[in-house]
Structure 1
Amino acid sequence: METANILIVDDELGILKLLDITLRKENFINIETSSTGKGTLQLVKDNDYDVILLDIMLPDISGFELCTEIRKYTNTPIIFVSARSTDFDKLTGLGIGGDDYITKPFNPLEVVARIKVILRRQKMYEAAQQQQSIKYDFGYFAFNPESATLKVDHQIVECTAKELELLHFFCKNPNRIYTTSQLYEFVWGNDVYGEEKTVTIHISKLRKKLGDDTRKPKIIVNLRGIGYKFIPPKEGLLCE
């Protein structure tokens, strides 16, 4: 049995039942559902979840607005599940703190696969944190994987779990070039098909949080037609 706590948010009863039944068949037993934004926010305040499936068109509040509110309380991975399928909607969802985006109609087993990937990556990330206490100190910003904290100019900067995973990957692999598809494979998982623009959005968000110039970046550099490279602002980047 899977012990992960999953929250499904959708105003369509049929979708809630379909996902609940499918997840239980896949041995997920700790499942809660909500059909309103207000109810969802209260659940998030009162409980700890490992994954949140979030619809956009809710009766009382937009899923985008709700995601922004949820991010004030938790960095729990959020997977948008919505009939809105434009690139603008996907970029908006990822840009405000979503970790993945699935469009309706969907194969419920794909949703399960995406959840399993996120949970597996979380376990791997937590295991890696427990095995090491390395801090990455780059002068004006420092990252501690063990405590999952990023400090820029000595101020803590809030990041989503996926942003921290991406930053951790870059910190472990400085001055190396990776294509967008490689970054998606290493950070999001290679057994699920996703949008490569997901990587682009997360890199853009990281740049802003690191204070990197988004027009002429010097830390996470884009080599046109090749890929991305993390250039540490200061050499001698590891300290105990």
Structure 2
Amino acid sequence: MLANLLLVEDDPEIANVICDTFRHEGYAVTWATTGLEGWEDFKSSTYDLVLVDLMLPEMDGLTLCKNIRWDSDVPIIIISARQEDAMKVEGLDIGADDYVAKPFSLHELKARVASHLRRWHRYQGVEEAAETSTFENGLTLYMDERKVFIDEKEIVLTVKEFDLLRLLAQNPSRVFTKEELFAHVWQQIDHEDLHTVTVHVKSLREKLGDPVKNSLFIQTVWGKGYRFIGEER
């Protein structure tokens, strides 16, 4: 297998052509038909590259790209019929690595995929020290082991609490809305249940000993959401 690809495309005709082409070349391809399905697939497996259409049901392509980029540096190629420069710029600004306009040449798409995979595999060959993150005031996150310590004492977090903390800590100073946190961590877009985010952030703060006033790690940005302010050591 050359690489494991995730294709998120709601047009079955286009998707089938792409899947058949890359599978014939020796790639493994997972096909998702909605943005939310693509996000669920991404969270449940490991991919070397993601191909994303912009006009998707349930979760649009730009939102999906943002969710993926907050969680991973995996190459993302947008495939879209939207050819406006502003849309291309927005896609690249949120973290996509390339933008291919429909209709496209399969030869060109294969070449671009191969090029990004070469860079990605070289990047992965470099040892990264990001598996453990240590911050002032005694906070340490072990990403692979999903463990959290305060002053060398382990803090037991739920799955969602750890996912919230990891997302915030991996994107320091970025303000996340409750809608963004709910879509990313709970993989849902039901905005009527955003109180769940508030409850989990409150519980996370209590376990970390992080007061709302004079916050050490998670700061509330009133009217907007939350951001991580811990200083990395």
What TM-score does the superposition give when structure 1 sets the normalisation length?
0.53
- Aligned match for 1:147, one of 129, 146, 171: 129
- Counterpart of 1:111 in structure 2 is 109
Alignment partner of 2:71: what SS? coil
Q: Distance in 2 between matches of 1:57 and 1:35?
A: 11
Q: Distance in 2 between matches of 1:88 and 1:126?
A: 31
- Counterpart of 1:179 in structure 2 is none
- Counterpart of 1:136 in structure 2 is none
Native 8 Å contact 2:75 2:120 kept in 1: no
- Counterpart of 1:20 in structure 2 is 19
Query: Partner letter of residue 57 of structure 1?
Result: M
Structure 1 unaligned blocks of 5 or more: 131-145, 160-240
Q: How far is the alpha carbon of 1:26 from its aligned partner? A: 1.6
- Deviation per CA, 1:3-44, whole angstroms, max 9, x where unpaired? x1100111100111110111122221x110011111111111
Identity over aligned residues, as a percent? 37
Structure showing greater radius of gyration is 2
Q: How far is the alpha carbon of 1:123 from its aligned partner? A: 2.1
Q: Distance in 2 between matches of 1:91 and 1:148?
A: 29
Query: Partner letter of residue 123 of structure 1?
Result: H
- Counterpart of 2:37 in structure 1 is 39
Native 8 Å contact 1:83 1:104 kept in 2: yes
1:53/1:107 Cα in 2 relative to 1: closer, same or farther (>3 Å)? Answer: same
Alignment partner of 1:88: what SS? helix
- Counterpart of 1:74 in structure 2 is 72
Query: Partner letter of residue 24 of structure 1?
Result: R
Q: Distance in 1 between matches of 2:39 and 2:112?
A: 23
Equivalence map 1:93-108=2 (5 Å): 93-108=91-106
What TM-score does the superposition give when structure 2 sets the normalisation length?
0.54
- Deviation per CA, 1:176-201, whole angstroms, max 9, x where unpaired? xxxxxxxxxxxxxxxxxxxxxxxxxx
- Aligned match for 2:123, one of 122, 125, 140: 125
CA RMSD of the aligned region, Å? 2.4
Alignment partner of 1:52: what SS? strand
- Deviation per CA, 1:28-77, whole angstroms, max 9, x where unpaired? 1x110011111111111111111000000012222111211222332221
Structure 2 unaligned blocks of 5 or more: 137-167, 173-233
Q: Distance in 2 between matches of 1:46 and 1:53?
A: 17
User: Which consecutive aligned stretches of 4+ in structure 1 deviate over 3 angstroms post-superposition?
Assistant: 153-159
1:72/1:124 Cα in 2 relative to 1: closer, same or farther (>3 Å)? Answer: closer
